[in-house]
A and B are shown apart, each in its own frame.
Chain A
Amino acid sequence: QKEVEQNSGPLSVPEGAIASLNCTYSDRGSQSFFWYRQYSGKSPELIMFIYSNGDKEDGRFTAQLNKASQYVSLLIRDSQPSDSATYLCAVNIGSSASKIIFGSGTRLSIRP
């Protein structure tokens, strides 16, 4: 089992709809969770981080964390064509927050 797993996609969502991206992780002791966006040919950039169970909202983005079920998700409301990108989930793995592991990413395509 991979330490951080994401569906590679592509996930195709109509413009204006909600895009839902999911990520599961293996280390029950993980404390820090991140979502990065990566446009084609560019480097990853942070969208959100979340540390506590529940929801965290920032504009059109909501991160949801469920530590009991070991998943973290990212919802994008009112999806725009500019949201088309690969979304990387990153989780700290190991004791003392020793390292961050990235998932392989989900490719999201917003169709007009």
Chain B
Amino acid sequence: DVKVTQSSRYLVKRTGEKVFLECVQDMDHENMFWYRQDPGLGLRLIYFSYDVKMKEKGDIPEGYSVPREKKERFSLILESASTNQTSMYLCASSLRVADTQYFGPGTRLTVL
């Protein structure tokens, strides 16, 4: 079974803080994704990575950076957190880009 883990289930941060979210998958998948999910807006793609050190912007990349130094690990960094970044953050991985995505448990981030 594919396993995708995320570093935290819940985080509370203050405006202006730097926030690190980490995602690890154990299935040697090439593709990894970061989404945020907000009520009424569904899943919105922030960034995806199709290989180590390769990434593409999604629909809402502003305010986020996504280092991928190793194949199994995809991080999401909020350089200076703002209250409008309060959300559920979901990481996913897939073997091919248009293939089944396997999701981690999510991180609920609150920015005060």
Where the two chains meet, the residues of A that have a C-beta atom closer than 8 Å to any C-beta of B are 8, 31-32, 34, 42-46, 49, 88, 90, 92, 97-100, 102-105
Tell me how many residues of B have a C-beta within 8 Å of chain A.
Answer: 19
Minimum C-beta distance from A23 to chain B (A):
12
Establish whether residues B97 and A97, one from each chain, have CB atoms under 8 Å apart when the complex forms: yes
Establish whether residues B106 and A46, one from each chain, have CB atoms under 8 Å apart when the complex forms: no
Where the two chains meet, the residues of B that have a C-beta atom closer than 8 Å to any C-beta of A are 35, 40-43, 45, 48, 90, 96-106
Pairs A–B under 8 Å by Cβ, sample size 8? A32-B98, A42-B105, A43-B105, A44-B101, A97-B98, A102-B35, A102-B43, A105-B42
Minimum C-beta distance from B66 to chain A (A):
15
Nearest B residue to A102, CB-CB = B43
Taken together as a complex, chains A and B put the C-alpha atoms of A44 and B90 apart, in Å, by: 9
**Which of B43, B45, B96, B97 lies in contact with A88, CB distance below 8 A?**
B43
